Chains A and B, each alone.
Chain A
Amino acid sequence: MTELRKRGAGGGDPDTAENISDKEADGDDRLGLSGDTEGECDVDSKTDTPDVPASTADTDNTPECLNKALEGLPPKWRNYWIRGLLSICMISGFFLMIYLGPIMLIFVVMSVQIKCFQEIITIGYRVYHSYELPWFRTLSWYFLICVNYFFYGETLADYFGALVRREEPLQFLARYHRFISFTLYLAGFCMFVLSLVKKHYRLQFYMFAWTHVTLLIVVTQSHLVIQNLFEGMIWYIVPISIVICNDIMAYLFGFFFGRTPLIKLSPKKTWEGFIGGFFSTVVFGFILAYLLSQFQYFVCPVEFNSETNRFTVECEPPDLFVMQEYTLPAALQNTLSWKTVNLYPFQIHSIFLSSFASLIGPFGGFFASGFKRAFKIKDFANTIPGHGGIMDRFDCQYLMATFTHVYIASFVRGPNPSKVLQQLLMLQPEQQLSIFHILRSQLKERGLLPPLAVRAE
Chain B
Amino acid sequence: MTELRHRGAKDGEPPLEQQPSEDKGSDSELKADKEGVSDESKVDSGVPEVPVPPDDTPEVLNKALSGLSSRWKNWWVRGILTLAMISFFFFIIYLGPMVLMMIVLCVQIKCFHEIITIGYNVYHSYDLPWFRTLSWYFLLCVNYFFYGETVTDYFFTLVQREEPLRILSKYHRFISFALYLTGFCMFVLSLVKKHYRLQFYMFGWTHVTLLIVVTQSHLIIHNLFEGMIWFIVPISCVICNDIMAYMFGFFFGRTPLIKLSPKKTWEGFIGGLFATIVFGIMLSYVMAGYRYFVCPVEFNNDSNSFQVDCEPSELFQLQDYNLPGVLESVTGWTTVRLYPFQIHSIALSSFASIVGPFGGFFASGFKRAFKIKDFANTIPGHGGIMDRFDCQYIMATFVNVYIASFIRGPNPSKVVQQLLALRSDQQLYIFNSLKAHLTEKGLLRAAEAAA
Residues 185-212 of B, flagged 1 when their CB comes within 8 A of A and 0 if not, give: 1011101011111111000110110010
A426-B410 in contact given A201-B368, A210-B204 (Cβ < 8 Å): yes
A201 to B26, CA, bound (A): 14
Q: Name the segment of A78-86, A100-108, A188-196, A342-350 touching the other chain.
A: A188-196
User: Which of the residues B174, B194, B435 comes within 8 Å of A410, measured between beta carbons?
Assistant: B174
In the complex, are the beta carbons of B171 and A182 less than 8 A apart?
A: no
Q: B188–A367 contact, CB under 8 A?
A: yes
CB of B102 within 8 Å of the partner chain: no
Is A6 part of the binding interface, using a Cβ–Cβ cutoff of 8 Å? Answer: no
Asked whether, in the complex, the Cβ of B415 is within 8 Å of the Cβ of A423, the reply is yes
Query: Are the CB atoms of B191 and A424 closer together than 8 Å?
Result: no
Chain B residues with CB below 8 A from A192, complex form: 362
Assembly CA distance A101 to B156 (angstroms): 41
Asked if B185 and A360 sit within 8 Å, CB to CB, the answer is yes
Q: Contact check, B47 vs A47: say whether CB atoms are below 8 A apart.
A: yes
User: How many residues of chain A get a CB closer than 8 Å to chain B's CBs?
Assistant: 86
Within 8 A of A (CB), among B382-410: 394, 397-398, 401-402, 404-406, 409-410
Which B residues are CB-close (under 8 A) to A423? 409-410, 415, 418
B124:A43 contact, CB within 8 angstroms: yes
Bitwise, A200-231 to B at CB < 8 A (1) or not (0) is 11111100011011001000000000000000
Q: Interface segment, A109-117, A292-300, A448-456?
A: A448-456
Please tell me which stretch of B66-74, B265-273, B293-301, B424-432 contacts chain A, meaning at least 4 of its Cβ atoms lie within 8 angstroms of it: B424-432
Determine the distance from Cα of A32 to Cα of B194 in the docked complex, in whole angstroms. 8
Q: Establish whether residues B188 and A456, one from each chain, have CB atoms under 8 Å apart when the complex forms.
A: no
Query: Are A370 and B430 within 8 A (Cβ)?
Result: no
Is residue A169 contacting chain B, with contact meaning CB distance below 8 A?
no
Within the complex, which residue of B174, B193, B204 is in contact with A209, where a contact is CB–CB below 8 Å?
A: B204
Beta-carbon contact of A453 and B450 below 8 Å: yes
User: Do B434 and A435 touch (CB < 8 A)?
Assistant: yes
B136-144, B237-245, B438-446 - the one binding chain A: B438-446
- Of B197, B355, B404, the residue contacting A374 (CB under 8 A) is B197
Q: Is the CB of A439 within 8 A of B419?
A: yes
Q: In the complex, what residues of A have CB within 8 A of residue B204's CB?
A: 209-210, 213
CB distance from B373 to the nearest CB of A (A): 15
A178 pairs with B451, CB closer than 8 A: no
- B-binding segment of A34-42, A234-242, A380-388: A34-42
A427 touching B409 by the CB < 8 A rule?
A: yes
Instruction: Check if A186 is an interface residue, CB within 8 A of chain B.
Output: yes
User: Of all chain A residues, which has the CB nearest B422?
Assistant: A414
A369 to chain B, nearest CB (A): 9
Question: Does A370 lie within 8 Å of B188, measured CB to CB?
Answer: yes
| Residues 400-438 of chain A, each 1 if its beta carbon lies under 8 Å from chain B, else 0 | 001100110111001101001101111111011111101
- Would you call A373 an interface residue if the criterion is a C-beta within 8 Å of the partner chain's C-beta atoms? yes
Q: B437 to chain A: which residues have CB within 8 Å?
A: 425, 432
- On whether the beta carbons of B419 and A432 are closer than 8 Å, the reply is no
Most A C-beta atoms less than 10 A away, residue of B124, B207, B419, B443: B419
Within 8 Å CB of A414, what residues of B?
418, 421-423, 426
Given A202-B44, A435-B434, A436-B434, also A448-B177 (CB < 8 A): no
Decide if A199 touches B42 in the complex (CB within 8 Å): no
B52 at interface by CB-CB < 8 Å: no
Known contacts: A360-B185, A420-B422, A453-B451. The answer to whether A439 contacts B430 by CB under 8 A is: yes
What are the residues of chain A within 8 A of B422 when measuring CB–CB? 414-415, 417, 420
List, in ascending order, chain B residues with CB within 8 A of A425's CB: 437
Give the contact stretch, choosing among B14-22, B33-41, B92-100, B283-291: B33-41
From B36, B39, B405, B438, residue with most partner A Cβ within 10 Å: B405
Q: How far is the CA of A404 from the CA of B60 in the complex (A)?
A: 60
Instruction: Indicate if A371 sits at the interface (CB-CB under 8 A).
Output: yes
Contact of B207 among A35, A43, A213, A427 (CB under 8 A): A213
Nearest-Cβ distance from residue A77 to partner chain B, whole angstroms = 33
Instruction: Say whether B434 contacts A439, CB under 8 Å.
Output: yes
**In the bound complex, do residue B194 and residue A40 qualify as a contact, i.e. CB atoms below 8 Å apart?**
yes
Q: B9 an interface residue at 8 Å Cβ cutoff?
A: no
Question: Given that A199-B36, A201-B368, A202-B40 are known contacts, is A436 also in contact with B438, CB under 8 Å in the complex?
Answer: yes
**Contact B358–A189 (Cβ < 8 Å):** yes
Q: Are B430 and A421 in contact (CB under 8 A)?
A: yes
The interface residues of chain A lying within 8 Å CB-to-CB of B198 are 40, 43-44
Q: How far is the CB of A132 from chain B (nearest CB, A)?
A: 11
A213 touches B208 (CB 8 A): yes
Chain B residues with CB under 8 Å of A411's CB are 174
**Smallest CB gap from A359: residue in B:** B185
10 closest A-B pairs by CB:
A46-B46, A374-B196, A201-B369, A39-B194, A179-B405, A410-B174, A415-B418, A426-B409, A202-B369, A374-B197
**18 pairs of residues in contact across A and B, judged by CB atoms under 8 Å:** A36-B196, A39-B194, A40-B195, A43-B198, A44-B46, A182-B401, A199-B37, A201-B366, A204-B369, A363-B184, A375-B197, A406-B174, A410-B174, A411-B174, A415-B422, A427-B412, A434-B412, A439-B434
Known pairs A182-B398, A424-B430 / 4 extra A-B pairs, C-beta < 8 Å: A205-B365, A363-B188, A424-B434, A438-B416
Q: Which A residues fall within an 8 A CB radius of B?
A: 32, 35-36, 39-40, 42-48, 175-176, 178-179, 182, 186, 189-190, 192-194, 196, 198-205, 209-210, 212-213, 216, 263-265, 360, 363, 366-367, 370-371, 373-375, 399, 402-403, 406-407, 409-411, 414-415, 417, 420-421, 423-429, 431-436, 438-440, 442-443, 446, 448, 452-453, 456-457
